[in-house]
Structure 1
Amino acid sequence: MENYSPDEIVVRTIFLSYSRDDRDRVLPIIAALEKRGLIVWWDGLLAGGQRFAHTTESALESADVVVVVWTARSIQSHWVRDEATRGRDRGRMVSVTLDGAEPPLGFRQVQYIDLGNWGKRTASPAFRELLRAIEAVAADPGNSLSVERPVPAAREGGTKLSRRRALIAGGACIAVLGGGLAAWRLGVLSPKADGNSIAVLPFENLSDDPEQTYFSDGLSEELRAALSLNPRLSVAALTSSDAFRTGARTIAQIARALGVAFVLEGSVRRAGESLRVTARLVNGATGFQSWSETFDRKLANVLDVQNEIAANVVDSLIVSLGGSGDGASGKQRIGGTSSVAAFDSYLHGMALYNLAADEPSDRGALAAFDRALSLDPGYAAAQAARSRALTVIGSSYASGKELAGYFDKAIAAARKAIELAPGLAEGHSALGFVLSNGRLDLAGARQPYEKSFELGYGNAAILGSFALYAAFTGSFADARKAVARALRLDPLNASVLRTEAIAEFCARAYDAAQQAVRGALSLNPKVNNVHRILGDIALVQGDYGAARGYFEAETSPLSRIRGLAIADARLSGEAAGQRHLAEMEREYGDNCLYQQALVFAQWGRKDDALAALERGLAIGDAGLVLANTDPLLDPIRQEPRFQTVLHQIGIDHDRVV
């Protein structure tokens, strides 16, 4: 690590597991690791009352590396063993011994590092070995004791993955930051705070049942939705706020990183029919509370609590800005429900849908939305969510007449959501989503998408959805406007920067696209489909060797194979590219017709490219929504057959690129 230049440093997050009896011996290790630029979570960070006592579990699950300090004392600690087990099972454990004690049975097959004589010297061979081990495990998790669990196809790049990810703007912009807080730590992303801006951190689940986290998270997101309805407020989005789920950063640090003036945090304890919600609003600059309150209610009153918190927060902010808090500024959630049971089912569904994991989780989300609607048929937000789930399930797992049936139901659900709550941005966005991705009707999707942009100016996910639609239909000024607003609301979300990169690539603004890709990778080095953008830019610019390197680094299997088929054909002849094409056809079949068209167009086989697009149009390949502005299709762009395809998916003559 010592030979890295500042631009090469990737900041890693460390969870340090140790016995409190060894605290004095462990503190120098923590200090040395932090001096090397690593972010270290240890339970001492919970002292001082600066934050609510967030559970160690979330820190353990999100850390890049779990460093376990073994001593004669820690071997006897059930806590240390439990934390070590989780680190081992995640393939992210690094073992250290301070007194020569061997790790206990079950952990000895993983090599451990002896820091007994390191002398608090960062230049010592043992400490250097620790740094190398941390980097190796963070970069390539896994060890001989890692527990192998079946990984859903949606995570591993099978056919279902390609179809799930092919959907444009398919839901909330979600990114796992991992070690990507490097950009925040190094000061790259620090938007200036507006006086009326706020971040809502995930409320901590203090219930005895960890499965209730969906409820506390859902309450936080519903508060964001309610607060964002006020035009005087700027509310940071879910992903950026969620980056600070663990308690390792102060309110001031969080406020600076997100560019907000205030932070709302809280906790939820749910026991039977009893509910305790604690919330406090903190000034990010001073660290002083502007408002705090504890609500002891029956579960049946949770929706009232949500509205009370929103009203109090808005009034407190208005007072801080020199206005008067009149209680009328807190607005109820548009498209919400008065049924607590329906609300609970809706939160269950959103938690499953946002996983984007596999068919069972997507169908589980749909079932939860159906339950919510059976309890309250007028729940517009649940209708909008049901529409998105139906679109995803149809596009990802269905075919033929079954596919058409899913899209019919999705359109009906979205229209019902709009009928019930015309001001609900999610309903209009869901309708645009199914019309564009399901029906390939980009002309029909224009009005609902534009309405969602008008209504959802405080919702980063809806802004991202609209930005992609605008980019694919050639409305680049609108796309840039939406991306700029989304970045203000969600500055730590790699997916928003990926959306910017896609939009700029479609606009042929390659320098801007590359800059956005670098920003996305600084937040999440594992974000998919950004190396593909760099590779495609290199192809367009004729640098085929560089293109091949970018495609090799791409984490999306379909994008990687497609890119290599083009690059290798340029470098070594079509036969070399043909091997990749054959693999792509074997693995994905008709689910990669759009990608086949890109390959054929770049190979100069125009008729084959056009035939692939026409076949894709016939079966409803969602990839065709990219065709109007994709630079890789420029070799066939003037062909009459290509123009016919564009018109059939609803691209107006004046919007053809």
Structure 2
Amino acid sequence: MLAPTDPRPKAIAVLPFLNLSSDNENEYFSDGLTEEIIHALGKVKGMSVVARTSVFQFKGRAYDIRKLGEQLNVQTVLEGSVRKAGERLRITAQLINVLDGYHLWSETYERKMEDVFAVQEEISNAIVNALKPFCQEEPAVVRRASENLEAYHLFLKGRFHNRKRTEDGLKRAIEFFHQATEIDPNHAAAYAGLAESFSLLAHKGLFWPREVMPKARTAALKAIALDGQVSEAHMALGFVKSVYEWKWEKAECHYQQALQVASYGNAEAHHWYSSDYLAPLGRLDEALEQMLHAQFVDPLSHLINSSLGFVLIMRREYDQTIDHYRKCLELDPSYYHFYTGLGRAYAQKGMLAKALEHFLKGKELSGHLPYITGIIAHCHAMMGRFSRAEKLLAELLLLARQRYIPSTTLALVYSGLNNRDEAFRWLERAFAERECSLVYLNVYPTYDNLRQDPRFHDLVHRIGFPSAPPVRLA
């Protein structure tokens, strides 16, 4: 995989705290404690903290501490466990030097649940003291999402389900975040969680954008009104402003604000700024720079590595894209996005048989997502297998009567079948719905065969893209 070559500063990985409670339902709490410590340490100047997505790759897995240090490029690792019994907590934590495996510090905390915030602060302070020569300031006081413990637990449950990034997970996250705001109407982080969850339902093509994006905007604005330092709220609002409202200047303001207030370990701010603002506008050098920074902070993130390949495709760097995705598959051969990304690169190089092979594997691993069916149909059409493409198209049209299917997916198939009138009819429907993927119209190579049509230029003009570098045609 691509990666920056700058040496990493004194770095730490906070591994997922083990849930030793008798109730597996308490896993949300141990995961939440891990994230809170990552966030607190990420605010310390001079300390480099690996983002949550990469460290959570090791959850529930046996590992060699030295190999883990090499893989994450860190010198120290924090391990811990949580045992919750009623309102009592027993939290253990140990800081380990990956070079020799020796403990730099360890502690056990026996507290009441109401003291959980104080414990988070004590652990963060203890780590900074152990690494004092490398830290330029004391850790910030842990920002308390809510003083209400019931609301705090509901928030942690919402975040736990939000991280699953599935339709069911996002729906459950919305339920928990909403309950948290009902108990504590001043819970800014819960409103930010609502905004992100609603946004992801649209981003993943699971719900009509007009149904969920206004809810995302309302929740993000509420979060910012309560606390302008919540980076996730600015990210969500930047996303709404860019891919839904097409208000590009306002979108950049919120993305920049998210970057300014985010902790070091928050790679997502750099990721979304790259993927959903810079790349659609054709600012591909900046997009690559931001995505590489996100990968540097969160090197094992499936989402970030997948999106890095996406940026490379938009840059028409297909050989580099293929090399990147091959290395991604060496790390995890079960993630469907790596296969579909590799397939897209092969398709752009005219290697359609290899592209189809990877698309089919990606569809199988994804649970048969409809948009991948559209990619496969387009590939068949490009191979001259029009009857197969039309059969898959008919299946998608039938499915669209039962659930939301992105109009851009259907436009892609018609484009492959050289039916430009139908392709533009579905693109117009995507425009009316303000589908998220439409913002890549000006940069994504799949649309190259439509670029000379006056209807294409009219559509681009109506989306209102600012001036951008010209697209480099393959």
The answer (yes or no) to whether the contact 1:273–1:298 under 8 Å persists in 2 is yes
The answer (yes or no) to whether the contact 2:12–2:76 under 8 Å persists in 1 is yes
Secondary structure at the aligned position of 1:198 is classed as strand
State the partner residue of 1:114.
Answer: none
Q: Aligned in 2, Cα 1:479/1:437: closer, same or farther, shift over 3 Å?
A: same
Amino acid paired to 2:323: Q
Cα deviation for residue 268 of structure 1 reads 1.0
Which of the numbers 344, 347, 363 marks the counterpart of 2:153? 344
1:330 aligns with 2:107: no
Cα deviation for residue 314 of structure 1 reads 2.0
Cα deviation for residue 248 of structure 1 reads 2.3
Cα deviation for residue 259 of structure 1 reads 0.7
Q: Aligned in 2, Cα 1:528/1:440: closer, same or farther, shift over 3 Å?
A: farther
Amino acid paired to 1:356: R
Cα deviation for residue 437 of structure 1 reads 4.3
Cα deviation for residue 330 of structure 1 reads 1.3
Q: Which has the larger radius of gyration?
A: 1
Q: Aligned in 2, Cα 1:525/1:379: closer, same or farther, shift over 3 Å?
A: same
State the partner residue of 1:574.
Answer: 386
1:315 aligns with 2:123: no
- Structure 1 CA distance for aligned equivalents of residues 170 and 60 of structure 2: 27
Q: Equivalent residues in 2 for 1:414-563 (5 A)?
A: 414-439=220-245, 441-442=247-248, 444-456=250-262, 457-469=264-276, 470-555=278-363, 556=366, 557=368, 558-563=370-375
The answer (yes or no) to whether the contact 1:443–1:651 under 8 Å persists in 2 is no
Q: Residue deviations 1:179-221, cap 9 Å, x none?
A: xxxx9xxxx9999973521000111112121211110111001
Cα deviation for residue 503 of structure 1 reads 0.6
The answer (yes or no) to whether the contact 1:495–1:520 under 8 Å persists in 2 is no
Q: Residue deviations 1:272-331, cap 9 Å, x none?
A: 111121111111112222222212211101011111111221232223x3x68xxx6111
The answer (yes or no) to whether the contact 2:120–2:142 under 8 Å persists in 1 is no
Q: Aligned in 2, Cα 1:367/1:426: closer, same or farther, shift over 3 Å?
A: same
State the partner residue of 1:210.
Answer: 24
- Structure 1 CA distance for aligned equivalents of residues 347 and 55 of structure 2: 37
Q: Residue deviations 1:482-503, cap 9 Å, x none?
A: 2222222222223221111001
Amino acid paired to 1:591: I
| Structure 2 segments unaligned to the other structure (5+ residues) | none
Secondary structure at the aligned position of 2:81 is classed as strand
1:240 aligns with 2:54: yes
Q: Aligned in 2, Cα 1:565/1:406: closer, same or farther, shift over 3 Å?
A: closer
Cα deviation for residue 528 of structure 1 reads 1.9
Cα deviation for residue 438 of structure 1 reads 4.3
The answer (yes or no) to whether the contact 2:340–2:362 under 8 Å persists in 1 is yes
State the partner residue of 1:296.
Answer: 110
The answer (yes or no) to whether the contact 1:483–1:500 under 8 Å persists in 2 is yes
Which of the numbers 35, 43, 46 marks the counterpart of 1:221? 35
- Structure 1 CA distance for aligned equivalents of residues 126 and 192 of structure 2: 28
Q: Aligned in 2, Cα 1:563/1:393: closer, same or farther, shift over 3 Å?
A: closer
Q: Aligned in 2, Cα 1:369/1:570: closer, same or farther, shift over 3 Å?
A: closer
- Structure 1 CA distance for aligned equivalents of residues 328 and 463 of structure 2: 31
The answer (yes or no) to whether the contact 1:265–1:281 under 8 Å persists in 2 is yes
Instruction: Provide the identity percentage.
Output: 31
Amino acid paired to 1:528: Y
Q: Residue deviations 1:92-120, cap 9 Å, x none?
A: xxxxxxxxxxxxxxxxxxxxxxxxxxxxx
Q: Aligned in 2, Cα 1:443/1:597: closer, same or farther, shift over 3 Å?
A: farther
The answer (yes or no) to whether the contact 1:602–1:632 under 8 Å persists in 2 is no
Q: TM-score, normalised by structure 1?
A: 0.65
Secondary structure at the aligned position of 1:530 is classed as helix
Secondary structure at the aligned position of 1:269 is classed as strand
Q: Aligned in 2, Cα 1:397/1:577: closer, same or farther, shift over 3 Å?
A: closer
Q: Aligned in 2, Cα 1:542/1:568: closer, same or farther, shift over 3 Å?
A: same
State the partner residue of 2:162.
Answer: 353
1:653 aligns with 2:467: yes
Aligned pairs, number: 462
Secondary structure at the aligned position of 1:296 is classed as strand
1:584 aligns with 2:396: yes
Cα deviation for residue 374 of structure 1 reads 2.9
Which of the numbers 248, 256, 272 marks the counterpart of 2:86? 272
1:564 aligns with 2:376: yes
What's the Cα RMSD here?
2.7
The answer (yes or no) to whether the contact 1:388–1:433 under 8 Å persists in 2 is no
Which of the numbers 172, 190, 212 marks the counterpart of 1:364? 172
Which of the numbers 410, 417, 430 marks the counterpart of 1:616? 430
The answer (yes or no) to whether the contact 2:305–2:328 under 8 Å persists in 1 is yes
Q: Aligned in 2, Cα 1:476/1:255: closer, same or farther, shift over 3 Å?
A: same
State the partner residue of 2:101.
Answer: 287
Q: TM-score, normalised by structure 2?
A: 0.89
Cα deviation for residue 234 of structure 1 reads 1.2
